[in-house]
Amino acid sequence: MQRRDALKIMAAGAAGAFATPPARAEQDPPGEIAWSRKVPVRYAADVAVLGGGIAGVAAACAAAKSGAKVVLVERFAITGGDLTTGGVAAFCGETAGQGEVFDEILADLDKFHAVTIYQPFPKADHRNFDHHLLAIVLQELLLRRQVKLLLHTRFVDVRVGSGGRISECIVCGKSGPEALRARQFIDCTGDADVARTAGFAVMKGRPEDGLQLSMSMMAFVRHVEPELAAPQLPEGWFAPVRSKAELPMTSIWPNGPRSNALKIKIPLFDATSTESLTLAEIRARRRALEVLDYYQRQEHKPWRYDGCSPQIGIREGARIVGDYLLTLADLRAGRKFEDAIARGVYPLDGHKPDDDQRTYILKPSERHVPPYQLPLRSLLAKDGANLLMAGRCFSGDQLALSSARVSTTCAMMGQAAGIAAALAAQKQTDPRLLDPQDVRRVVEERGGKLT
Ligand SMILES: Cc1cc2nc3c(=O)[nH]c(=O)nc-3n(C[C@H](O)[C@H](O)[C@H](O)COP(=O)(O)OP(=O)(O)OC[C@H]3O[C@@H](n4cnc5c(N)ncnc54)[C@H](O)[C@@H]3O)c2cc1C
């Protein structure tokens, strides 16, 4: 099914009995305008990090530790991305040996009694944490490291000179559009916003039709006395789920005392499209109430709706084409690289993109991977002189992403990108002209376990 058809169907389905006209899928624009404006160069830095998810926070903190002047731009009120605004409250994979930034995050969460105890992977494949407290831990860590934090500020545009050198990017917060000048830029938006805006090569989805790994909404329920747990979905609203067979893939996660999170699969939307992402959010909130209604009516769970995460969880947006593309074959072979700067251990967790069931791209017997390495080259944008990337938008194929997207590996990538960017800024050179062994050495000195 083509995404455009799928979107129309999902949009119509999302409306259900509570009909609004089906939202339009993206259409060809009715025209074009040229737009220009003078803006102040408000900020100057050695390293600018765009996007404050776990990769962006790790990048900013690592660059600051290397002595760089760092600005971190985040469009929401808090950093943490999928882990906080997306409500994903678990670190998957190996949590030890991810480097000193991640160690400090864990140590701080532990001080708040906000993370479950350590067990080595694969004895335990994840650790739960309190995602509200993580937002505070991350902001305090950034401030301790003197990272200049711009919240409610969106990366909007970029000025690219010859050879793919970025001189400034345009960011827009409540003060309006302003320029941020830096020697090195790190795209940690998860969706390759900087590279896409710069016109650098990017890729997304599976090769045959571009469908991305499905999104999921984290919806929260509060456990209440049975008399307060009456079904909450009014008659005539949406399309309630009447049987287990009709349920979309729903995983029930812990969420602290007297609460659970329901992770609900929302496939077929594109996180890099304004209209598609809008439809995904609408669809997801409706779906949350439909699923809750099932649990209230059919399974008599004493649950009340406690809200959805502020944004839908996004597993895949767009990935930047780097100097090296990490592939499924590399992961299966547990490939080692001379310029290794991060390590992954998590299985190939590719949620099948074209249905809402508990389906995966690979059979269970095909999902295991041995520990594998990520090379520095997979964090260097092929078309850019001074653009690195880390996290979900690194250079890898879709199945490589399905493993490397876990927060532990994203944090490791972030730390390495920050170290490389700071070193390049210090030496007044480009990251690809560095000796990769210098980056690798610092990664290892800072506790990043590569073997
Ligand atoms: C439903 C779901 C469940 C998951 N479960 C787990 C799990 O149990 N364990 C695990 O380890 N991993 C899990 N993952 C994967 C993991 O959470 C993410 O892949 C990882 O956190 C991504 O980190 P990131 O920093 O690359 O991207 P993100 O977390 O997406 O961060 C990107 C940041 O950039 C900001 N941003 C984006 N565009 C702009 C812009 N233009 N201007 C300014 N800021 C911008 C965003 O607001 C965000 O803060 C899950 C993912 C999903 C979606």
pLDDT above 90 (res 8): no
What pLDDT, in 10s, does the model give residues 189-220?
999 999 999 999 999 999 999 999 999 999 99
Cβ of residue 392 lying under 6 Å from some atom of ligand 1? yes
> Quick one: pLDDT at residue 300?
94
How far apart CA 324 and CA 374 sit, in angstroms, is 10
**In the prediction, which pLDDT does 3 show?**
52
* The 250-254 sheet, strands edge to edge: 250-254, 259-266, 215-223, 303-308
pLDDT tens digits for range 25-80:
567 788 999 989 999 999 999 999 999 999 999 999 999 999 999 999 999 999 99
CB of 311 within 6 A of ligand 1: the answer is no
Q: Which two tokens stand for residue 393?
A: 């938008």
What pLDDT digit, counting tens, does each position of 174-197 carry? 999 999 999 999 999 999 999 999
pLDDT (0 to 100) of residue 26: 63
Which of 43, 72, 82 for a ligand 1 pocket mutation test, highest count of atoms within 8 Å of Cβ?
82
Ramachandran category for residue 283: left, alpha or beta (phi over 0 → left; psi -120 to 50 → alpha): alpha
State if residue 196 touches ligand 1 by the CB under 6 angstroms criterion: no
Kindly tell me if the per-residue pLDDT of 2 is higher than 60: no
- DSSP string covering 128-171: EB-HHHHHHHHHHHHHHTT-EEE-S-EEEEEEE-GGG-EEEEEE
- Assess whether pLDDT exceeds 70 at residue 4: no
Nearest to 193, CA basis, from 80, 325, 52: 52
Report the 10 Å Cβ neighbour count for 151: 16
What distance in Å separates the CA atoms of residue 277 and residue 157, rounded to the nearest whole number? 20
pLDDT class of 13 with cuts at 50, 70, 90: very low
Task: Please calculate the CA angle 215-173-418 and round it to the nearest 5 degrees.
Answer: 65
Q: Name the phi and psi angles at 415, rounded to 5.
A: -60, -45
- H-helix or E-strand spanning residue 295: helix 274-297
Instruction: Tell me, using a 6 A CB cutoff, whether residue 413 lines ligand 1.
Output: no
Closest CA to ligand 1's atom 34 = 51
Task: Assess whether pLDDT exceeds 60 at residue 443.
Answer: yes
C-alpha–C-alpha distance, residues 332 and 367, integer Å? 9
> For a pLDDT cut of 90, what percent of the chain falls above it?
91
Report the percent of the chain where pLDDT is more than 70.
94
What does the pLDDT read at residue 229?
A: 82
Q: Which protein residue's CA is at the shortest distance from atom 13 of ligand 1?
A: 406
pLDDT greater at residue 444 or residue 227: 444
Span 380-433, pLDDT tens digits: 999 999 999 999 999 999 999 999 999 999 999 999 999 999 999 999 999 999
Confidence bin at 236 (pLDDT 50/70/90): very high
DSSP 356: S
Position 227 scores a pLDDT of: 83
User: Could you read off the pLDDT of 65-93 as tens digits, one per residue?
Assistant: 999 999 999 999 999 999 999 999 999 99
Among candidates 244, 195, 190, which has minimal Cα distance to 213? 190
Q: Is the CB of 430 under 6 A from ligand 1?
A: no
Between the CA of 190 and the centroid of ligand 1 the distance, in Å, is: 6
Residues in the chain: 451
Mutate to test the pocket of ligand 1, among 78, 88, 95 (most ligand atoms within 8 A of CB): 88
* Cα separation, 97 vs 114, whole angstroms: 20
Report the relative pairing of strands 250-254 and 259-266 from DSSP bridges. Answer: antiparallel
CA 91 centroid distance within chain: 13
Question: How close is the Cα of 88 to the center of ligand 1, in Å?
Answer: 9
The dihedral sign for the CA sequence 229, 294, 277, 29:
negative
pLDDT band of 9, cuts 50, 70, 90:
very low
Tens-place pLDDT, residues 302-358: 999 999 999 999 999 999 999 999 999 999 999 999 999 999 999 999 989 999 999
Q: Is 319 in the pocket of ligand 1 (CB under 6 A)?
A: no
**pLDDT tens for each residue of 252-300:** 999 999 999 999 999 999 999 999 999 999 999 999 999 999 999 999 9
Global pTM reads 0.95
Distance CA 182, CA 151 (A): 18
Do 444 and 450 meet the contact criterion of CB atoms below 8 Å apart? yes
Q: Cα 327 from chain centroid?
A: 19
Task: Say how far apart CA 334 and CA 152 lie, in whole Å.
Answer: 40
Domains and CATH numbers, the chain: 41-207+317-445 (3.50.50.60), 215-308 (no CATH)
Ligand 1 centroid distance, CA of 248 (Å): 22
Question: Band of the pLDDT at 230, cuts 50, 70, 90?
Answer: confident
Q: Does the C-beta of 57 come closer than 6 Å to ligand 1?
A: no
Question: Which pLDDT value is given to residue 186?
Answer: 99
* pLDDT at residue 25, rounded to an integer: 54
HSE of 352, CA atoms in CB hemisphere, 13 A: 13
d(CA 408, CA 93): 6
Query: What pLDDT shows up at residue 15?
Result: 38
Per-residue pLDDT at 16 exceeds 50: no
CA gap 59, 391 in Å, rounded: 10
Tokens of 354: 């074209």
> Measuring CA to CA, how many Å separate 377 from each of 24, 339, 342, 383, 444?
40, 8, 11, 12, 17
